[in-house]
A and B are shown apart, each in its own frame.
Chain A
Amino acid sequence: MKRAAIALLSLAILEIVLGRVLDAWGFGGKLLAMGPHTPPWALAAGLLFVVARVLLFVAGPGAVLALAVWGAASALTRRRARS
């Protein structure tokens, strides 16, 4: 559970940093074009960024909820075992 939380946090930091760096480099114009002259760094960074956002904003809420349920269920099991 701790590892999953660290993974989500790392993903959030990666998304924030990458978003700002890419915006500062003006990569949006190049990504939208997807033309033959689009630099490989823009394609790779764009793909990484989009995957990070999907994981964070689509899978993330489900993961947080699942972790919370798992944690609550585990705590309940431990309490029952003790009593």
Chain B
Amino acid sequence: MRTARVVLSLVAFVVGVALVPSRVSSRGAASLYDDDAATQQALVQGVATWLDAPVDAASFGTGSELFDGEWVFGAQMMATMGIGQVALAHPELAATYGPRMDACIARMLAAAGAAFDARSWGEEGIASLDGERGHVAYLGYLNLAIGMHRLVDPTSRHAALGDRITRTLARRLDASPLGLVETYPGEIYPVDNTAAIASIALRDMAVGEDVHDATVARALGMIRARYIDPANGLLVQAVEPGSGAPRDAARGSGTLLAVYFVSFADHALSRALWDAATRELDHSVLGFGVMREYPAGHGGHDGHGDIDSGPMLFGYGVSATGFALAGARIHGDAGRFGRLYATVHLFGAPIDRGGARRFATGGPLGDAILLAMTTARAKLPASAGARS
């Protein structure tokens, strides 16, 4: 009789573990997926609690002054995108959220926000606009944030700067034989270039022009032809400045972030990257969705992760899994969104306080990324101020 009790209890344990946890953890995924205003506003409020306090290099401690600076900038950039997407989903919030986005952009332009790029290049990105040197990450991400702000607030005071940055990025991309521009001297990352290309497309969308269509088409054509690994369809993480040959493997973090960026410029290419990522990287463990940083069978690269992948466990990457939330929303994959959100809920540990939701393991950057990824939109409306 005792044996039967033990066996029954074990069966109950297995059933409980297999069926209950992922369902409990994916609570709230459906309301996020369906653009529920209260759920999205709670995330914005959570990010706002970070933004209202100064986010500086001490907030991170990556061990690298460069990466700390990148994250100060990245937290503001992702916050701008996320807040903007919520404002687009709920236009009644635009008047409140527009100024918040404006403040984030101002912080990206301030010395602390621009420092990581200026230190690497020996000049500020904005001061370089008439020149020909790189700065693709700083300018591209900044311009993407400005483009989003212009969609929400057609009277954005950053519009003229956005136009200047757009012209500079277009000129630098057009002039590059590789179709790519450097992030830092001697360093080229295709995903940073997809942000820059997307920012050009978003600017044109916001003002209702198509003057940069040829630039966007050429640059994305080069990405498609040269920087997507034909073996798996994923985006190469880094390339050699001279030859454009891969310097790093095709990886999950870069590919899944590019799915988000490219969606602003070319839905079909974003879809192709998403299909490749779900085919090569997607797994489910007890109903929890996870993404690998490297495709299966890619020996010798699993390790503990790096600054791009974030912490890794059994080959699954924090960044890749978080970025995939955007792909699932953009490409209408509600089931996968729910499974991925269950994982984010489990390891992110949401804390609700005073109408704001923060993630205990997220911090300023993690919370801002989750806001942007969980509110990503399949289709953006043209700005109210756009010329037809």
Q: Which residues of A contact B (CB under 8 A)?
A: 19-20, 22-23, 26-39, 46, 49-50, 53-54, 57-70, 73-74, 77
Contact = CB atoms under 8 A, between A and B. Distances in A.
Given A33-B67, A57-B21, A58-B21, A65 B12 contact: yes
B230 to A, nearest CB: 32
B1 interface: yes
A65 B15 contact: yes
Given A65-B16, A73-B5, A77-B1, A57 B366 contact: no
A33 B361 contact: no
Contacts of A38: 61-63
Task: Name the interface size band of chain B.
Answer: 35 or more
Contact of B286 (A58, A67, A74): A58
A37 B304 CA distance: 16
Contacts of A73: 4-5, 8-9
A69 B9 contact: yes
Nearest to B59: A29
Given A50-B347, A53-B347, 5 more contacts: A22-B361, A31-B361, A38-B62, A57-B24, A62-B15
B121 interface: no
B351 A23 contact: yes
Contact of B20 (A23, A28, A33, A61): A61
Given A29-B71, A30-B61, A69-B12, A62 B5 contact: no
Nearest to A54: B346
A34 B311 contact: yes
Interface in B4-30: 4-5, 8-18, 20-21, 24-25
A4 to B, nearest CB: 11
A21 B64 CA distance: 26
A62 B25 contact: no
A33 B74 CA distance: 13
A66 B366 contact: no
A68 B346 contact: no
A70 B347 CA distance: 30
B24 to A, nearest CB: 7
B232 to A, nearest CB: 26
29 contacts: A28-B363, A28-B367, A29-B363, A31-B311, A32-B310, A32-B362, A32-B365, A33-B62, A33-B307, A34-B305, A35-B62, A35-B63, A35-B64, A38-B63, A46-B361, A50-B347, A53-B346, A53-B349, A57-B24, A57-B346, A58-B21, A60-B21, A62-B12, A62-B18, A63-B13, A65-B12, A65-B16, A66-B9, A70-B8
Contact of B363 (A27, A62, A66, A70): A27
B216 interface: no
A19 B350 CA distance: 9
B358 interface: yes
Contacts of A64: 16
Contact of B14 (A26, A62, A67, A68): A62
Given A31-B361, A32-B310, A66-B10, A61 B347 contact: no
B17 A58 contact: yes
A27 to B, nearest CB: 7
Contacts of B364: 26, 28-29
B80 to A, nearest CB: 18
Interface string B240-252: 0000000000000
B258 interface: no
Given A36-B63, A61-B17, A29 B366 contact: yes
The 4 lowest CB-CB distance pairs between A and B, nearest first, are A29-B363, A28-B363, A35-B63, A62-B16
Contacts of A39: 61
A54 B305 CA distance: 21
B256 to A, nearest CB: 16
Contacts of A62: 12-18, 20
Nearest to A81: B1
Nearest to B10: A66
B95 interface: no
